[in-house]
Chains A and B, each alone.
Chain A
Amino acid sequence: MTTTDVKRMSGITCRPTHVALVAACALALAACGGDTPVRPPTGSDTTAAGLDPNSGGALMTVVDATSRAFQLPGTSLSSDRLAAHVDGDAVFDATFVPAPAPVNPGLGPHYDNNSCSGCHTGDGRGRPPVSGDLFNSMIFRVSGAGVNAHGGPAPIAAFGTQLELKAVSGVTPMATVAIDYHDSTDTFADGTHYSLRVPRYIVSNPYAPFSMDAKLSPRVAPPNFGLGLLAAVSDQTILAGATAESAIDPSVAGHPNYVFDSIGRQTVLGRFGLKANMATLTEQSASALSGDMGITTSVFPLDICADPAVSCASHPPELTDAQLAAVTTYIQTLAVPARRSVTATTVVRGEQLFRGFGCTTCHTQTMTTGTVAGAPEVSGQRIHPYTDLLLHDMGPGLADNRPDYLATGSEWRTPPLWGIGLTPVVNGHTNFLHDGRARSLLEAVMWHGGQATAAREAVRAASPDDRNALLAFLNSL
């Protein structure tokens, strides 16, 4: 778990160097109305995942349906890559404490958790607190009016762009947050009632004046596996997906985010984060270390020190470049669990329904990754991520009203669905969507709005048997 020579680490980055194969990201079916809920896949469709259980491709799929399903490395890593993965695993699991300390110093001064794995339990999905719980796997982004120098969210004085809810001894946490849920009920076409819980977030005890006009975006920790594969998808593939969506139906087409890359110091296509506001895995990792834990790196070398009581003095990075590279390699090489029960009749029918309802317009089933130097395991892989990595308007119900570069306040990046059926065994819950408000996959589906309205209405119109088949399919992912 912790046993590798640090000298073996190399700084792997995750940018595709060229396009090997561009998958036909064309989407077979447009979203359809409730009157014709099911259309079978066409014979010429090459994007169907079909019976392929290897969601992460030949080299990055693992057969494991246990609590460890999201935290396993790809099956073909070289010994050096595996060693870096193991080193990164140790960093990912390390509990940090405030400096000075003999072991793992550097936490805070403000933070949301003291380890990566504290939020990303089992490399899986976070959740809102249950009664009496703390916000251990959920964070709150904030921003003010306007944009920053790069077009991204504008920080708020004394708070920056994240409300850190914990602080080291002697420092005041930035605020406390409470969630107040109320139920909103609705009905399927067959008369079955369902209920969605609508959250309201209440910020109190701010340690400095906090404007109620501040934009607040709650986020649960997203799963970490398969991200190396998504990093290996070429820009061209993603853009081709947007073009294909437009050709089919401009009203449901997604668009890419373009964001400032803090490492490359230029604006590039964003693909990570719930609004596709991060360009690379290294930046994503460094950003989380900084924002969620107060651990500095060469990428983000300054502690969050908006609090005047906190020293802003510059100091050497709390994580070395080698350690940052290792934790990035760890994330890059986390494999995707294989699907289960792919040949079951209900599951096969559920996939046809998923396509017929129009879900695959955004939840793209199949892509082929490009080539990443030094990372053969994620290169040239035919994968089934169920995302187009594009932004889509999800309607006012899900809006956080906090724009992030080109993502509007109601747009979100299509989240990958691979592995989603293993959420109960890995994380012990079925809370989904950006803030975990959905208590089941079906609730998550029924929260869809905006560009996904037609697909959602197709599900509403479906029979109970068809809804169950759809869920059987999703749970097989």
Chain B
Amino acid sequence: MTNERFSARRALVLLATASAFAILVACNDSVTAPELGAPTSLVSSIVETVYLPTFDSLNARAARLSSALDALAASPSPAALSAAQDAWRATREMYERNEGFAFGPLITNEYDPNMDTWPIDRAGIDALVAGNTSITKAEIDEEDGTLKGFHGIEYILFGDNNSTTAASLTVGQRNYLSAAGQSLAAVAAALDEAWSPTGGNFAGQLTSAGSGNSVYASVGAALQEITSGLIEPTDEVANSKIALPLSSGDTYFEESAFSDNTLNDLKNDLHGAYAAYTGSFSGDANGIGTLIASQSPSLDVQVRAQFTAAFAALDAVGPSFDQALHNNPDALRSAQQAILTLNHTLVNQVAPLVGAVGDDD
């Protein structure tokens, strides 16, 4: 979410899908609201099957990442470095999935900028670790997002062109990794807690949407929120995360350039969206698609096929976004186009249909 970027781009003009979505949503009051079975249970199903397990898993994996970074800091070895890098990728997988429902405490409690700010302040991190053998989690907690989070850790843990070795890590860098890992894990735990029915229970705000709910005063608003949430990564991946590196030819604009994990990031962005649509990460439960299928079975078939095509196009990019950027940009363009096609269907057909449902509660 905070990995927003701007640049003086001159070549590519892809018009404003997010904004077009807004317009369509805005116009939805002109659509006659059809009857629908139980949109409330649909919201509950998505929250319980997709959202909460993702936050739980992010929390657990971030804790394991923190432990792996502590171990690396205490005793740097090639095996410890490799284990920490694997733990980073595993944690990253869950964070990117949560981009398909990036609203609520993630934003209002400022967890996102603390975990996933892009770009990072390389010079600032270099200054932070230079000769600093005692940096603590508390100090990292107070720093800007540009000095920590996934990409700050990634910068030290992988290095330019994945050049970090166990032997190259300085004491300051090792301390930084340990402290930044602990800070990230604490934020992931706070996010999980904020959603949890046994904690801050933001989940309950969604599942109890309706009159008297101070956050979602109608089930329609909750469905609209879920739908906007799943559309967002399709816009961001196509129009920003692929578009900016493609148009600049520069890996600086990549999501996870140090680890070359960008392609996985993009796939997991789509997985989060897909799960909200289909109701589960395996695509077989009750999600927004259930509602769409009840109104327009052919549209539901179309959306699922376009998700499948988008995943296939990302698979075809190959193992590395970096390599494709330099050697096979056409594969990136094809993936971008496939995701845009999906995005346009979601914006122009799915969102208006969802908007027409659920406000009669």
Interface residues of A, Cβ cutoff 8 Å to B: 1-8, 61-68, 72-73, 75, 77, 79, 82-83, 85-87, 89-91, 93-95, 97-98, 100-104, 107, 114-115, 117-118, 121-122, 133-134, 136, 166, 168-170, 320, 322-323, 335, 338, 340-341, 424-429, 475
Contacts and interface: CB of A to CB of B under 8 A. Distances in A.
B116 to A, nearest CB: 10
Contact of A7 (B10, B235, B240): B10
A121 B109 CA distance: 10
Given A2-B4, A4-B16, A427-B108, 8 more contacts: A5-B10, A67-B228, A72-B22, A77-B19, A94-B6, A95-B5, A117-B4, A322-B8
Most buried by B among A62, A68, A107, A117: A68
Contact of A73 (B19, B29, B122): B19
B214 interface: yes
B4 A3 contact: no
Given A64-B22, A121-B107, A83 B16 contact: yes
Interface in B119-174: 119-124, 127-128, 142, 144-146
B7 interface: yes
Contacts of B104: 67, 428
B15 to A, nearest CB: 7
A72 B215 CA distance: 18
Contacts of B4: 1-2, 90, 93-95, 115, 117
Contacts of B142: 134
A103 B25 contact: no
Given A101-B121, A169-B127, A72 B2 contact: no
A114 B5 CA distance: 12
A310 to B, nearest CB: 16
A114 B146 contact: yes
B95 interface: no
Nearest to B130: A169
Nearest 7 interchain pairs by C-beta: A428-B108, A93-B4, A90-B6, A72-B22, A62-B26, A66-B225, A65-B221
A117 B117 CA distance: 12
22 contacts: A1-B18, A1-B240, A3-B15, A3-B239, A5-B10, A8-B13, A62-B22, A62-B25, A82-B19, A91-B6, A97-B119, A97-B120, A101-B122, A103-B252, A115-B4, A117-B4, A121-B107, A121-B110, A136-B110, A424-B214, A425-B215, A426-B108
B123 A3 contact: no
A75 B23 contact: yes
A6 B8 contact: yes
B201 to A, nearest CB: 13
B44 interface: no
B283 interface: no
Given A83-B13, A85-B16, A101-B119, A428 B6 contact: no
Contact of B145 (A95, A122, A425): A95
B269 interface: no
Most buried by B among A72, A79, A89, A91: A72
B124 A98 contact: yes
B14 to A, nearest CB: 5
Contacts of B15: 3, 79, 82-83, 86
B311 interface: no
Interface in B9-56: 9-16, 18-20, 22-23, 25-29
Nearest to A476: B217
A98 B8 CA distance: 19
Given A65-B218, A83-B16, A102 B252 contact: yes
Contacts of B8: 6, 320, 322-323
B216 A425 contact: yes
B329 interface: no
A429 B108 contact: yes
Nearest to B243: A3
B217 A65 contact: yes
Nearest to B244: A2
Contacts of A87: 6
B281 interface: no
B249 to A, nearest CB: 13
Given A3-B243, A341-B217, A73 B105 contact: no
A63 B3 CA distance: 28
Contacts of A97: 119-121, 124, 146
A65 B228 CA distance: 11
Nearest to A71: B22
B123 A169 contact: yes
Contacts of B195: none
A75 B22 CA distance: 8
Most buried by B among A75, A79, A170: A75
Contacts of A68: 22, 103, 225, 228
Given A2-B240, A66-B224, A95-B119, A104 B6 contact: yes
B118 A95 contact: yes
B108 A335 contact: no
Contacts of A122: 107-108
Given A62-B22, A83-B15, A93-B4, A75 B128 contact: no
A28 B110 CA distance: 43
Contacts of A475: 214
Contacts of B108: 67, 121-122, 426-429
Nearest to A425: B215
Given A5-B13, A114-B144, A95 B117 contact: yes
Nearest to B16: A86
Given A1-B18, A3-B243, A86-B16, A63 B28 contact: yes
B253 interface: yes
A98 B126 CA distance: 13
B204 interface: no
B189 to A, nearest CB: 14
A305 to B, nearest CB: 19
B5 A66 contact: no
Contact of A118 (B10, B16, B113): B113
B253 A169 contact: no
A217 B83 CA distance: 50
Nearest to B113: A118
Nearest to A129: B110
Contact of A63 (B2, B26, B120, B228): B26
A134 B138 CA distance: 13
B99 interface: no
A335 B5 contact: no
Nearest to B222: A66
A418 to B, nearest CB: 15
A75 B26 contact: yes
Nearest to B117: A95
A62 B220 CA distance: 15
Interface in B213-246: 214-218, 220-221, 224-225, 228, 235-236, 239-240, 243-244
Contact of B19 (A86, A100, A117, A425): A86
A378 to B, nearest CB: 16
Contacts of A117: 4
A79 B113 CA distance: 31
A79 B20 CA distance: 10
